Amino acid sequence: MTESFLHYIWQMQYFDKNELRTVDDEPVTVFQPGFFNTNAGPDFSQARIRIGSLDWSGQVEIHVRSSEWDDHAHRTDHAYDNVILHVVWENNRPVLRADGTPMPTLLLKGRVNTGLLHTYQKFMATAHVIPCQGSLAAVPSLIRLSMIEKSLVRRLQRKATEMLEVAQATRFDWDETAYRFLARNFGFKINADPFFELAKRVQYRQVLKIADRPTAVEALLFGQAGFLEAVSSDEYVQQLKNEYRHLAARWKLEDRQVDTARWKFLRLRPANFPTLRLAQFCAFLNGNRNLFSSLLEWQDLAAVAKALSVAPSAYWHRHYHFGKQSNVLHPAMGEASVHNIVVNTLAPLWVAYGLSQDDESWIERAVELLRQVPAESNAIIKKWKALGWAPTSAADTQGLIELFNEFCQSKNCLNCAIGASLIKPA
């Protein structure tokens, strides 16, 4: 037995309420079980319960064993002074209030449907990473689809929260916020951190001051990334070095370069080298002077793809690193990379902005954009496909990834609509 299961049982009132009485034999009638509290303090608030002949309004605390009331020092904690009922699975010790009077205690053991308890225990004991995978086909499609949508919104809001923290730290400079997270996304997973660090060390307002000179933008970012330290005889590299020396002296940047050891090249295809990705990022910045307002104006996936599919400068058409030529032409960013930026930066950024403006329409707009992006393919999605769940868009796959990571892996079935539909009385 777990406390989280008892929370679920109490919240859903999945127990036998016939002749309900406290351990002191007082009759109990539950009018309102209360609202689950995710913060510190008693488990449920605003409950309305009749105990004996008196109607009470207050809080409910739940434990597996009654002795946990004292073990957790609730008796001396004033936050628990308004608890009107103590709900337990086992009554192994009498519980007293701070004034020494008995705490009304309700025992649930023996009142919970054995089939429901067995199903829950089976889910908790399974070795499957998706606990309900054997029963998933029995869940109505409406419940499954609603849970995907709930998980998608949860994922977007979680990502948006991180962006809001940066926005707050920059006094809601949305251009700067968008610039930093776009930079991180251009680094993709393996070089996301050094890209993000680079964007913090070179502010967007500095980029804007030299935006009319594309070579200067490249010099500033490549120099601050530490890539210009390597010796090269290329005329292009010498031009960048000279430009960077001027800019670094102007803004006192010499001691703020990113450590080159942080950049990862090993086991990456040349097309994914951070040098080439940084050249693509520079090209994008040169083509989008009003950064954040441009991101807000993109109406659909086609507009996003057009804005992001900018070719890097001529040097990078045939180079993947300084002084290292390639026989392969490196044109604009590929379709898969564009989709990655939509999923991981643009959609969450719209949600973050919507939250800051208290405008939920941006959530709807973000979800609609993700519905235009093809379904992703990764190890998690393959698990769902093996169970017969075939996503059709990134909106589906993002929801399924969140469902797997935040509910299935932690066996948080009671807070999942799918799990809750299976863990209920027959």
pLDDT tens for 68-101 read 999 999 999 999 999 999 999 999 999 999 888 9
Q: Report whether pLDDT(53) > 80.
A: yes
Res. 353 pLDDT band, cuts 50 70 90:
very high
Strands (E), 138-183: none
pLDDT of residue 369 exceeding 70, the answer is yes
- pLDDT of residue 330 exceeding 90, the answer is no
Residue for token digits 């000179």? 213
Any bridge partners for residue 83, and if so which?
A: 59
pLDDT greater than 90 at residue 108: yes
Cα separation, 200 vs 277, whole angstroms = 17
pLDDT digits (tens, 9 = 90+) for 2-42: 899 999 999 999 999 999 999 999 999 999 999 999 888 99
CA distance 96 to 101: 5
Q: CB neighbours (10 Å) of residue 311?
A: 16
Question: Higher pLDDT residue, 424 or 91?
Answer: 91
Interstrand relation of 35-36 and 28-32 (parallel, antiparallel or unpaired): unpaired
The torsion defined by the Cα of 241, 245, 246 and 247, in degrees rounded to 10, comes to 90
Give the C-alpha separation, 152 to 375, whole Å: 13
pLDDT band at 426 (very low <50, low <70, confident <90, very high): low
Task: Count CA atoms closer than 13 A to 351's CA, side-chain side.
Answer: 26
User: What does the block give as tokens for 235?
Assistant: 């005329």
DSSP character at residue 102: B
CA pair distance 30, 51, nearest whole angstrom: 9
What residue type is assigned to position 96 of the chain?
L
User: Given pLDDT bands bounded at 50, 70 and 90, which one contains residue 397?
Assistant: very high
Find the helix packing angle between 174-186 and 274-287, rounded to 10°. 150
Where in 255-371 does DSSP place strands (E)? 319-321, 324-325
Instruction: Please give the average per-residue pLDDT across 208-230, as a whole number.
Output: 94
The per-residue pLDDT for 424 is 83
In the prediction, which pLDDT does 166 show?
97
C-beta of residue 87 within 8 angstroms of C-beta of residue 64: no
Please state the domain extents for the chain. 3-112, 170-333
pLDDT over 90 (residue 271): no
Distance set, CA 114 to CA 19, 76, 110, 111, 136 (Å): 19, 36, 9, 9, 21
Residue 179 has a pLDDT of: 98
The model's pTM: 0.85
Residue 386 in this model has a pLDDT that exceeds 70: yes
In 3D space, the residue among 144, 139, 62 whose CA is nearest the CA of residue 105 turns out to be 62
**Among all chains, which residue has been given the structure tokens 């990571």?**
405
pLDDT at 320 over 70: yes
375 CB neighbour count, 10 Å cutoff: 16
